[in-house]
C-alpha cells in the first residue's frame, strides 16, 4: 500500500491541487460562503483522476503485482489525504479568522466547528458519488465529476442558504426558534458553552458521515472496478 500511495503522489498529483489548496485564503474574504473553497478541492481531485487517465495509469497499475482492490484503496487514501490537508488548513484559517475577523459572516457559515462539519459532509457527498461513478468505467472522470459536483452544490446551497436565511430573519427582528437556535449556536464563532457543545456534536456527526460514506464509496468502487476490463 505504501508503494502504491507513493505512486499516486509521484504520478497522479496534479499541480492544480496546490493552487486550489491555496484558495483556503478565501476564508479571509468578508461575508463570503466559505464552503466554496472546499468545492475547489473536489475540482483538484478531478484533475488528478483526469491526469492519471491521460497518462495511462490504469494500464501501468494493471501491470504491477497488485490487485484492483489495492489500487482503488490507494487512490481513495490519496483522495482522503488531500481532503484532510484541506480540512487542517480550514481549521487553521478559522482559528486565525476568529482573532482577526470577529465580525459575523452575513454571506454564509461563520468560522468555527460548524464550517468544518459542513465541509466534512461536503467531501463525504463528493466521495460517495464521484468515486463509484468513476470506477464504474475506470476512465469517465468528467461525467463522474459532474455528478459529484451536483451533489456538492446542492449541499453547499442548502447549508449556506440556511445560514444566510437565519441571519436575515434575526436582523428583521422576527423571533423564530429554529433560526434563533441556528444563529446563536451554529452560525457563529462558538463563544458560549452551549454553542461549543452544539458545534462539537455537529463536527462529530460530520466526521462520522465522512468516514462511513468514504468507506462505502471505496467498497462500491472496488466491486465496480473489478468488473472493468483494463486495456
Report the distance separating Cα 50 and Cα 28, nearest Å: 30
Q: What is the pLDDT of residue 231?
A: 64
Q: Which residues of 180-214 are buried (b: 16+ CB within 10 A; e: fewer)?
A: eebbebbbbbbeeeebeebbeebbeebbebbeebb
What global pTM score does this model have?
Answer: 0.93
Q: How far is CA 73 from CA 26, 41, 66, 223, in A?
A: 31, 20, 11, 12
Three-class SS state of 190: coil
pLDDT digits (tens, 9 = 90+) for 150-173: 999 999 999 998 988 888 887 777
Report the distance separating Cα 175 and Cα 226, nearest Å: 55
As a whole number, mean pLDDT of residues 22-38 equals 90
Report the distance separating Cα 155 and Cα 175, nearest Å: 26
* pLDDT surpassing 90 at residue 186: no
* pLDDT surpassing 90 at residue 211: yes
CB–CB of 165/179 below 8 Å?
yes
CB–CB of 226/68 below 8 Å?
yes
CB–CB of 51/75 below 8 Å?
no
CB–CB of 190/113 below 8 Å?
yes
Going by pLDDT thresholds of 50, 70 and 90, the confidence category of residue 99 is confident
Amino acid at each position: 500500500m505504501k508503494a502504491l500511495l507513493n505512486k499516486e503522489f509521484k504520478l497522479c498529483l496534479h499541480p492544480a491541487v496546490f493552487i486550489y489548496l491555496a484558495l483556503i485564503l478565501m476564508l479571509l474574504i468578508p461575508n463570503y460562503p466559505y464552503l466554496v473553497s472546499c468545492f475547489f478541492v473536489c475540482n483538484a481531485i478531478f484533475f488528478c483522476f483526469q491526469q492519471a487517465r491521460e497518462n495511462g495509469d490504469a494500464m501501468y497499475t494493471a501491470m504491477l503485482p497488485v490487485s484492483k482492490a489495492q489500487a482503488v484503496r490507494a487512490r481513495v487514501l490519496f483522495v482522503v489525504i488531500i481532503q484532510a490537508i484541506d480540512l487542517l488548513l480550514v481549521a487553521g484559517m478559522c482559528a486565525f479568522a476568529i482573532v482577526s475577523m470577529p465580525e459575523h459572516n452575513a454571506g454564509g457559515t461563520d468560522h468555527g466547528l460548524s464550517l468544518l462539519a459542513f465541509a466534512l459532509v461536503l467531501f463525504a457527498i463528493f466521495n460517495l458519488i464521484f468515486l463509484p461513478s468513476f470506477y464504474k468505467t475506470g476512465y469517465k472522470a468528467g461525467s463522474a465529476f459532474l455528478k459529484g459536483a451536483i451533489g456538492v452544490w446542492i449541499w453547499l446551497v442548502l447549508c449556506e442558504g440556511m445560514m444566510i436565511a437565519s441571519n436575515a430573519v434575526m436582523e428583521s427582528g422576527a423571533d423564530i426558534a429554529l433560526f434563533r437556535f441556528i444563529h446563536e449556536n451554529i452560525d457563529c464563532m462558538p463563544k458560549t458553552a452551549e454553542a461549543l457543545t452544539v458545534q462539537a456534536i455537529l463536527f462529530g456527526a460530520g466526521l462520522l458521515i465522512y468516514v462511513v460514506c468514504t468507506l462505502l464509496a471505496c467498497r462500491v468502487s472496488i466491486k465496480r472496478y473489478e468488473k472493468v476490463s483494463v486495456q
